[in-house]
Structure 1
């Protein structure tokens, strides 16, 4: 491994960025796994609670999945679009393909949200548009912070 690191980053002992990268990667990996475990726990314990009480308990898991899918996906699209328009950033083909897939995912989630009969709200389209607006606001904040 030291040979590979030496080939990629110069002498292994002189560059601490490799160790820093590895440490950050492990922290992000562990944090992601803990977050996944917590999300899974929400679903499991909500189901157990519904089975125990016999009540239909609204789960924040379902709402959270829709919210995250729409907000995060639209934020990615808006960051890319604003970067192209405002700072003339050039993206590769793979980035454009990712944006198309993300856009398709948002459209599918919104259409599914509109046709599902289990919606508890009066107007799910308004909620979806608020999520998209939140994605736009997050994109603007991210670009302002970056530049």
Structure 2
């Protein structure tokens, strides 16, 4: 894909809990580097580093990241944790952020994510998570 992503979680605060899990407000910084022709061995400058506020819902039944969409509305991205082959490529970074925020552990690739999901007791899932749903505010995910 010719790009590498990095992030750091700068702040993490518990916002609320429900029977399904715990909602955390996280402040992250994100960087990206471009590697033309897929040459990842060649160092290139990182761009970015701006702070961004997101939420993560730490849950065995509906794990999710909540971010603002391009229109500025909140949207929950449900993650298919522990699917047989790991997360789809488009959700690999989101799932890595989830594990960092919810379990304070790095997951660098699909195999690591699947292994960690099993280790932390996430149930097997054959299907992907539910479709992303707009939420009025992040706390809406706490409602049954």
- Scaled by the length of structure 1, what TM-score is found? 0.23
Q: Choose 1 or 2 for highest CA Rg.
A: 1
Q: Which is richer in helix?
A: 1
Q: Which is richer in strand?
A: 2
Tell which has more relative contact order, 1 or 2 (C-alpha 8 A, sep 6+).
1
